[in-house]
Chain A
Amino acid sequence: MQHQYRVGWWTYALVIATGLVILAPFAWMVATGVMTTGQTLQVPPSIIPAPTTLAGTEEVFDRIPFLTLLLNTILVSTGRAIFTLVVCSMAAYALAIIKVPGSQVILILILALLMVPGDIFIVPNFAIIASFRMTDTLVALFLPSVFDVFGVFLLYQFFRGVPRELVEAARMDGASHLRILTTIVVPVARSGVVSLAILTVLSEWKDLLWPIVVNRSLDKLTLGPGLALLRGTYTTDWNVVMAAGVMAALPMIVIFLILQKQFIASFARSGLK
């Protein structure tokens, strides 16, 4: 349908205008991050920081254990993605490929659970994690989220598209279900698996409520809640906060730019219901 859209000067005007509006907060974050605290207190503010300084960046490492927070974020989102993929792909295999008796009932249960917001479970889940004596651990950050009904449903739809002949041929050859899952179904449905991995990592990366509930010590937190601690009670050194914001946002933005196609496909699939 593209051919009937003629690109005029106003298309460029709109694209540039919206693009700049979206970029403006990022630009201001970077600009503030290389200012001195004094520069952030100018009235009116100077838009272009001159001279630029990395003092704010250095200050970040003095105030919060930034590298620990970053490492925690990476560990927790990787751990959550791995466990989610294992739990969800096994369940989706049982429902879509083996089609165990009662699959329909379980699918309806899964669809019903999709409607229930996870946020209402923070008090009971905190009590459960506390009874396991697991508060203030990295595992506590992702354990309740790996039993992901959305993930099961997403993979179920992809696994259903796997040709039956492939699975049956492998069964004839005596392959176990676990082997078929890992060597046939997952590779054939890999775009669904990749999407679930991306959406899971992003969701952990962005989570704020559950981490601040379950983990109190700073060295067991992720970047999202950790960064918030840089804000002062009465005054805030915004150059320090913004320098930390840039550093914390950068890793995922770089990963996104590398895997742009897969990310955008995943976002489109998060609307698959």
Chain B
Amino acid sequence: MIGYLFLIPLLAGLLVFRLYGFGYNIWLSFMNAGAFGAPKFTGLDNYRELLSDSQLGIAIINTFKFAAISVPGVVLVSLLLATLMQYRFRGESAFRAIIFLPAVCLPTAIILVFGWMFQTQYGLVNAAIQAIGAAPVSWFGSANGVTVVVSLLVVYLSFSVPTIVLYAGMQDISPDLYEAATLDGAGPLARFFNIMLPLLTPSLFFVILTTTIGTLKLFDVVYLLLPPVDQSVSMNYGLTLVYYYFYLAFIESGQRGYAAAVSLFLLVLILAVSVILLRVQRRFVHYGEDG
């Protein structure tokens, strides 16, 4: 009996903040609810609005665009860094510490320094571009500019954990396999593509899944780069699903019911993407004999 007492704090908390919260979200999604006053039942109106809302369409496209660019970016950067971590060289511990700096630094500080580096008039990046004779870019004034800065930031903020996951995966590969392949005449590239990459697929899959889900929930980067003052910019070029949800619920606060519908849509989307990735995994991921 005492065992259940140990579970009470967790289950009570989950009951309030997850189960009740989830039910509340579903209930709210059928309501017209603002920040004040009692919600009014509106049936499927919020769900109908999901289908016709062009802002939501922009948010979906942006979210997928950022994910499509930054997930491969994270995979490539972390593969490179994990490979470098395998070597024994002088300054190796300093290099390790540097790899994890972006994961322990306050994200707000990193996002703001990127905003400063890409600032149009006085920023470092445009200065470098002008130094080589090209025209400065209005990074936050165009869809492509925002996509570049946001994707770079997502990669920068999220490569550290994938690097250690891939590094651990590489450590698990038996050196005998490489030796046998080398004896058979396989060069470094053949060893990489025929041995390491196939045996690394479980770790790679994990990295792709978590990074994709993380990017589908992107908020802090776009919120801090494109604060909701200049709506033409923040509400278009950098609008993500979570940003839109937050905006509907807490900035233009007349629309909490619709925000709830958007959040449920986001949940379905994330679960669908996870299921699709899990299916792809079954086809491509190589789990050794004992895996």
The stretch of B56-64, B65-73, B170-178 in contact with A is: B170-178
* Set of chain B residues within 8 Å of A12, measured between Cβ atoms: 89
* Set of chain B residues within 8 Å of A90, measured between Cβ atoms: 6-7, 9-10
Contact A94 B206, beta carbon cutoff 8 Å: no
Given A7-B87, A125-B21 in contact, is the A22-B99 Cβ separation under 8 Å? yes
Given A117-B267, A273-B206 in contact, is the A245-B25 Cβ separation under 8 Å? no
Q: How far is the CA of A95 from the CA of B154 in the complex (A)?
A: 37
Does chain B have a CB within 8 A of A149?
A: yes
Chain A residues within 8 Å of chain B by Cβ, number: 93
* Set of chain A residues within 8 Å of B80, measured between Cβ atoms: 14, 18
* Set of chain B residues within 8 Å of A270, measured between Cβ atoms: 161
Which of A3, A93, A120, A249 has the most chain B CB atoms inside 10 A of its CB? A120
B19 to chain A, nearest CB (A): 10
Contact B264 A267, beta carbon cutoff 8 Å: no
Contact B95 A19, beta carbon cutoff 8 Å: yes
Given A11-B87, A14-B84, A41-B122 in contact, is the A19-B98 Cβ separation under 8 Å? yes
Contact A209 B271, beta carbon cutoff 8 Å: no
Given A125-B17, A238-B116, A267-B164 in contact, is the A249-B10 Cβ separation under 8 Å? no
Which residues 80-124 of B sit at the A interface, judged by CB distance below 8 A? 80-81, 84, 86-89, 91, 93-110, 112-117, 119, 121-124
Contact B84 A11, beta carbon cutoff 8 Å: yes
* Set of chain B residues within 8 Å of A255, measured between Cβ atoms: 104
The stretch of B46-54, B139-147, B221-229, B282-290 in contact with A is: B221-229
- Map CB proximity to B onto A14-36 as digits: 1 under 8 Å, 0 otherwise: 11001100110110110010000
Which residues 244-287 of B sit at the A interface, judged by CB distance below 8 A? 245-246, 249-250, 256, 259-260, 263-264, 266-267, 270-271, 274
Contact A2 B95, beta carbon cutoff 8 Å: no
Which residues 138-164 of B sit at the A interface, judged by CB distance below 8 A? 156, 160-161, 164
Does chain B have a CB within 8 A of A43?
A: yes
A273 to chain B, nearest CB (A): 7
How would you classify the secondary structure of chain A's contact residues: helix, strand, loop or mixed? helix
Q: How far is the CA of A144 from the CA of B20 in the complex (A)?
A: 12
Does chain B have a CB within 8 A of A183?
A: no
Does chain B have a CB within 8 A of A61?
A: no
Q: Could you list 30 A-B pairs, sorted by A, with CB under 8 Å? A: A1-B178, A2-B86, A4-B175, A11-B87, A19-B95, A22-B101, A23-B101, A25-B113, A25-B156, A32-B116, A40-B122, A44-B127, A93-B6, A115-B274, A117-B217, A117-B266, A119-B219, A124-B260, A126-B249, A128-B16, A143-B17, A147-B10, A205-B106, A208-B219, A223-B108, A241-B112, A248-B106, A248-B108, A256-B101, A264-B164
